[in-house]
Amino acid sequence: MIRLYDLAGHEDARRFSPFCWRVRLALASKGLAVETVPWRFTESEMIAHSGGARVPVIEDHNRIVADSWAIFDYLDQTYPQAPLFRSERERAQALFFKYWVENEIHPQIAPVIMTDLFARIHPKDREYFRSSREARFGMTLEAFAENAEGALARLQKALEPVRLALGEHFFLTGSQPGVPDYLLFGAFQWARCVSPRPLLGSGDPIVAWRERMLDAHGGVGREGLSEDLAPLPN
């Protein structure tokens, strides 16, 4: 069985990495069983054999693969069933989409969920998380979180091409979900698993897509939540 080192919060069951969620969906899409190992930011020694200090990392027999994109390629090479990418064209288009999600969507979600996220990470991670993120953002976590309102407005605008595309298809890859769906869904799971704040208006067509994604591939997206988080209104 494939083992996935999966970022966890205070509770082992709280899994909130957008990058790990991509991999969970990709594994499920191929029908591959996975054993997840809760991992915290400060447990770098636990994944030192991957050559890096970040998750996702998978172990499969004696193979160790880090980085979500490298894991997609490894999975397609090793388990050709239900290909994540059926052609170079599909893969290259999804690569643009990956960078779009990371450049345009993640940075708008981060300020909105930062306060809730910080409250739910493992206590032993707090000092590392605060100092590394404050260096990256160039401000305190509290000042960063004050950008939430503007970020939420920019998120709505940035998502407009998704809304328009979903006006014609159930998923970003057509009638069935594919890698671009996993990439964007990972971003929403990051928020969903730490924060009760809604990112979308109740009439937004992306809400219905997110529900379809929660149901996809055996409902794997509904896992990873702990119980003290109030249900999301949408």
Closest C-alpha among 80, 72, 78 to residue 182? 72
Considering the complex, state which of residue 10 and residue 212 has its C-beta at the smaller distance from a copy of itself. 212
Considering the complex, state which of residue 56 and residue 180 has its C-beta at the smaller distance from a copy of itself. 180
Instruction: Please tell me the distance from the alpha carbon of residue 234 to that of residue 221, in angstroms, as a whole number.
Output: 15
Considering the complex, state which of residue 175 and residue 202 has its C-beta at the smaller distance from a copy of itself. 175
Q: How far is the CB of 155 from a copy of itself (least distance, A)?
A: 14
Q: How far is the CB of 131 from a copy of itself (least distance, A)?
A: 27
Instruction: Please tell me the distance from the alpha carbon of residue 125 to that of residue 10, in angstroms, as a whole number.
Output: 9
Asked if 224 and 193 count as a contact pair (C-beta separation under 8 A), the reply is yes
Binding footprint of a copy of itself on the chain (CB under 8 A): 86-97, 99-100, 102-104, 160-162, 164-165, 168-169, 171-175, 178, 180
- Pairing, β 63-66 against β 57-60: antiparallel
Instruction: Please tell me the distance from the alpha carbon of residue 137 to that of residue 133, in angstroms, as a whole number.
Output: 6
Q: How far is the CB of 16 from a copy of itself (least distance, A)?
A: 24
Considering the complex, state which of residue 79 and residue 100 has its C-beta at the smaller distance from a copy of itself. 100
DSSP 58: E
Q: How far is the CB of 227 from a copy of itself (least distance, A)?
A: 35
